[in-house]
Structure 1
Amino acid sequence: MHQARVDQFLDHVKSSIPLVNHLGLNRVIFENNEVCFHVSLAPNLNDKGTGFGGSISGLCTLAGWALTTLLLIEADLERNVVVKTGTIDFFAPVTSDFVVRCFCPDLKGSDLLIDKVQSKGRGRLPIVAEISQGDVLAVRYSGDYVALDS
């Protein structure tokens, strides 16, 4: 998918979900069945001067939704996408601008999603979203997203 289409998607997200405009989401990259959110730390600070868990959780949840949605758009199978489950672990503080890297841990997961949506009209995608600070994994989010009949 061309970056211009991904930028258009981000504009749509920002206009449809007003909160996103306040989370410091600067850029979305979608390549090789992976989404990367480039995020500024400043609007996501907590009282300790590190990343606020609530906004980090929200960005990880949004990244899973974006990955699922963009995979479907790329396959010309636009559907409503919702989060079904999500869990998050915080291993280290987020102390600088960061990237949320979101992917399906099963290399065939995106193909399975597309096959299910084509055959049954709906499908599921398990995802992982991670934030690293240097060489340290700071956050890991795991979730399941469902594509529903339009």
Structure 2
Amino acid sequence: MRQIGVPHPRLPLPVAGGEDDMADFLAWLGEAIPMVPALGIRQMTRDGDCLAWSLSLTPSLNDKGTGFGGSLAAQTTLLGWCWTTLWLRRHGLARDVVVAEASQRFLAPVTGDYRLTCEPEAVDGPSALAERLELRGKGRIALVQRLWCGETLCLEARGDYAVLPAA
């Protein structure tokens, strides 16, 4: 049982230069952040610089029978945190990540199960983050999340994620 003010143990880093097992990471995330199992995440995949979740709408229904904006906003924020954390892990870094700024644009109602994607806002975002971490020991990256219900773009979000200095 998680306790207020007590950090959850970090997941061990993957073998040098290795990739995280997405199912293991998602299981750890569900232990570290108690609301995660209730989000309806069915699968997490990575393709290049794009991290994606497949989600069930049922846990995020609002009173109108469509996606609840607050739940969807929380999911976009968390997916960006996951993107940054997994990027750090692939680079052998166990660092704290926090969201510094986030915004959402709701474009269409979410009426069924959906896919949420996250990728850097700028093509050079990851290399710029790596450079800042090397030079200053901390950095930020801007990420864009998009929620797709079938072929319909329902939500576009943007977040700045800060990588804190090593303890």
Q: TM-score, normalised by structure 1?
A: 0.94
> Does the 8 A contact of 1:77 with 1:117 survive in 2?
no
**Which position in structure 2 is the counterpart of 1:109?**
125
Gaps of 5+ in 2: 1-17
User: Partner amino acid for 1:117?
Assistant: L
Task: Determine if the alignment matches structure 1 residue 84 to structure 2 residue 106.
Answer: no
**Which position in structure 2 is the counterpart of 1:62?**
78
**Which position in structure 1 is the counterpart of 2:12?**
none
Stretch of structure 1 that moved more, 82-91 or 5-14: 5-14
User: Partner amino acid for 1:110?
Assistant: P
- Cα distance in 2 between the residues matched to 1:115 and 1:28: 28
- Cα distance in 1 between the residues matched to 2:148 and 2:41: 16
User: Partner amino acid for 1:85?
Assistant: E
**Which position in structure 1 is the counterpart of 2:136?**
120
User: Partner amino acid for 1:68?
Assistant: T
- Cα distance in 1 between the residues matched to 2:27 and 2:119: 21
Pairwise CA RMSD: 1.2
**Which position in structure 2 is the counterpart of 1:51?**
67
**Which position in structure 1 is the counterpart of 2:158?**
142
Gaps of 5+ in 1: none
Residue from 83, 91, 96 that aligns with 1:75: 91
Normalized per residue, which structure has more strand?
1
TM-superposition CA deviations, 1:61-113 (whole Å, max 9, x none): 00110111111111112210000000001010001111110011211101111
Residue 118 of structure 1, CA deviation? 2.3
Normalized per residue, which structure has more helix?
1
User: Partner amino acid for 2:95?
Assistant: R
Give the secondary structure class of the aligned counterpart of 2:156.
strand
Q: Identity, % of aligned pairs?
A: 36
Query: Which protein has the larger Cα radius of gyration, Structure 1 or Structure 2?
Result: 2
**Which position in structure 1 is the counterpart of 2:3?**
none
Q: TM-score, normalised by structure 2?
A: 0.85
